[in-house]
Structure 1
Amino acid sequence: MSTDAPDRESAVPQQSTATVCGPVMFRRDRKDRIGSADRNLLDRREDSDWAHHDPWRVLRIQAEFVEGFDALAEVPKAVTVFGSARTPTDHPEYEAGLAIGAALAEAGFAVITGGGPGAMEAVNRGACEAGGYSIGLGIELPFEQHLNEWVDLGINFRYFFVRKTMFVKYAQAFVCLPGGFGTLDELFEALTLVQTRKITRFPIVLFGSEYWSGLIDWLRQALDASGKISSGDLGLLQVTDSVEEVVRIIRTTVEQACPEDAIEMGRVES
């Protein structure tokens, strides 16, 4: 029988000086990973690839949500209004935007737009001139576009999906003036959220029956007729040419959902 016994002392790793970096300890060949936290933060690095990696993007996205939530947390009852940035100031649709902005302000609502020119500017201007609260949520675009001068509170976003969250979270309704891809994008985003009951009691009003009639006909003939949407889904959209009707639809919904808000607006006896 062999009398050799394992050399237990040799099984014990050689003692090595430990290096502590914050809450983490490194020994042996792991020490090459450490460095002073302050030095790592403050040293100038030539390689900036980290700024384009997904973990850093997550922090930027988080920061945008925090900025938006913080800035809009105390916004009163509001209505988000969309419309084309290309609407000329002498166009009837611009006049409609002015009237809608003013009417919503007079009814006690803040207005939220994309903060750009055209129909968005008209709504912000109408609300501002009527003494209301005018909010613009802009977006970084490849072409230059600034927040219009009628915005009282403005935020510029990098990410469309963060901006969309703000449009929905702080509004009691959507109004869509004639617009292009951006307006359609927001319209169908809102429709999907209401249809799937992610948000409730959220009226969506299309202003301008002549402009929107083709879309409504297509939704009815293609989607509804073929069963691609549920029966009654088209009722989520309301079309009107009347500014007064826009306000009536929204106020009725608010009164049904939040009677205390209706009391504040002077429509219901307390």
Structure 2
Amino acid sequence: GAQEAGGVSIGFNIKLPNQQAANRYIDVDKLVSFQYFFVRKVMFLKYSQAFIALPGGFGTLDEVSEAMTLIQTGKSERFPVILVGKSYWEGFYQWIQETMLQENGFVSPSDLGFIYLEDDPDEVVSIIKKFYPEGYCLNF
């Protein structure tokens, strides 16, 4: 992970009853805890150069949807949204393509140009690097 490569590992934890603690890979002095989901999402999105989502529940779906909405509406800079776990996310992505795009026209083909499904961590890094022009300073 980031620490093994000499990088910084930042964590945005949410305070929930009966919820897990922050993972051990987060630098202790870089852990930020939030009481409310919306504040956590603002922080995620304000500083994101990429959004990588692993399989999760309603909160994960909310965060992914918020990122895609802000990019689609131009309220956020465009960055890659990478859904890791193809078998988990394929149905969701197919629903976006078929129901939102083809059947209803709620999104356009260009709205899907920043969404990626991937399983391989090396490919995730490659997607991020290819998304930005050469010479762009990525902070990772």
Q: TM-score range by the shorter chain?
A: 0.7 to 0.9
Whole-Å Cα distance in 1 between the matches of residues 24 and 37 of structure 2?
Answer: 22
* Cα pair 1:174 1:205 within 8 Å, conserved: yes
Whole-Å Cα distance in 1 between the matches of residues 121 and 136 of structure 2?
Answer: 24
| Gaps in structure 1 of 5+ consecutive residues | 1-125, 266-270
Letter paired with 1:235: G
Whole-Å Cα distance in 2 between the matches of residues 197 and 251 of structure 1?
Answer: 22
182-191 or 144-153, larger mean C-alpha shift: 144-153
- After superposition, the C-alpha distances for 1:78-123 in whole angstroms (9 at most, x for unaligned) are xxxxxxxxxxxxxxxxxxxxxxxxxxxxxxxxxxxxxxxxxxxxxx
Question: What residue in structure 2 maps to residue 240 of structure 1?
Answer: 118
2:47 equivalent to 1:170: yes
Question: What residue in structure 2 maps to residue 127 of structure 1?
Answer: 2
Letter paired with 1:140: K
Q: What are the within-5 Å matches in structure 2 for residues 1-270 of structure 1? A: 126-152=1-27, 153-225=30-102, 226-254=104-132, 256=133, 259-261=135-137
Indicate the RMSD between aligned Cα atoms, in angstroms.
Answer: 2.1
Higher RCO (CA-CA < 8 Å; seq separation 6+): 2
| Gaps in structure 2 of 5+ consecutive residues | none
- Secondary structure in 2 matching 1:129: coil
Whole-Å Cα distance in 2 between the matches of residues 164 and 211 of structure 1?
Answer: 22
* TM-score, normalised by the number of residues in structure 1: 0.47
Q: Percent identity?
A: 48
Whole-Å Cα distance in 2 between the matches of residues 221 and 144 of structure 1?
Answer: 35
* Cα pair 2:78 2:114 within 8 Å, conserved: no
Q: Describe the shift of the 1:244–1:148 C-alpha distance in structure 2 as closer, same or farther (beyond 3 A).
A: closer
Whole-Å Cα distance in 2 between the matches of residues 178 and 149 of structure 1?
Answer: 19
Q: 1:218: Cα distance to partner?
A: 1.2
Letter paired with 2:42: T
Whole-Å Cα distance in 1 between the matches of residues 15 and 66 of structure 2?
Answer: 20
Whole-Å Cα distance in 1 between the matches of residues 131 and 12 of structure 2?
Answer: 24
Whole-Å Cα distance in 2 between the matches of residues 240 and 158 of structure 1?
Answer: 31
Q: 1:260: Cα distance to partner?
A: 5.0
Q: 1:168: Cα distance to partner?
A: 1.1
Whole-Å Cα distance in 1 between the matches of residues 136 and 15 of structure 2?
Answer: 38
Whole-Å Cα distance in 1 between the matches of residues 96 and 90 of structure 2?
Answer: 10
* TM-score, normalised by the number of residues in structure 2: 0.85
Letter paired with 1:172: Q
Instruction: Write 1 or 2 for the structure with the bigger share of helix.
Output: 1
Q: 1:196: Cα distance to partner?
A: 0.5
Whole-Å Cα distance in 1 between the matches of residues 35 and 13 of structure 2?
Answer: 9
Q: 1:144: Cα distance to partner?
A: 4.0
